[in-house]
Amino acid sequence: MGAKYKPVAKKVLPVATHNPDTSVPIYKSINIGNLTMLPMYPPSFESLEYTRRLTKERMAKIISCIPRDFLMKAELDLLVHVLKEREDIIAFTDAEHGTFNRKYYPDYVMKTIPHMPWQIKPLRLLLARTEEIMTMLKEQTLAGKYESSQSSY
């Protein structure tokens, strides 16, 4: 029988408390408007004109994820038509993604109580993969997924 992971005395437990200043965020509804009908006979997949965003390589990658014989030819044509029509709103890379408009989705504020920050040993990176990991981290920071912090955590 192994030792316990953490003694009960050292467990971090949430604190039940009430904050009278807490407000419920107000979300505005989004007016989508009238949606256009999907075509009964979309243009053939083979006649697709590729663009800067919807490249032949990206389309091949999307289609390669679909199991063989899962879609009929007409369904594949419709999928490609919809992707072509909506290519401006699809994020193909992390750098192309956006965020929800704060007008419709206000930031969520998580209230905390005064406490002593706990200390955890930092994760060690494999030296052989440090450069690769740092490149990924920089790309995702530039894409807006992460931001710098001076927090105790």
Check pLDDT > 70 for residue 102.
yes
pTM of the model: 0.58
Residue 84: predicted pLDDT: 92
Residue 148, pLDDT score:
81
Cα-Cα-Cα-Cα dihedral of 142, 145, 151, 153, to 10°?
Answer: -130
Domain ranges of the chain: 38-118
Average pLDDT over residues 59-83: 92
Task: Write b or e for each residue in 27-41: b if 16 or more Cβ atoms lie within 10 A of its Cβ, otherwise e.
Answer: eeeeeeeeeeeeeee
The region of weakest confidence among 67-81, 84-98, 127-141 is: 84-98
Measured in residues, the chain has a length of 153
Q: What is the DSSP letter of 9?
A: G
> What share of the chain in percent tops pLDDT 70?
93
The Cα 122–Cα 118 span in angstroms is 12
As given in the structure block, the two tokens for residue 60 are 């091949």
Cα(100)–Cα(94) distance, integer angstroms: 15
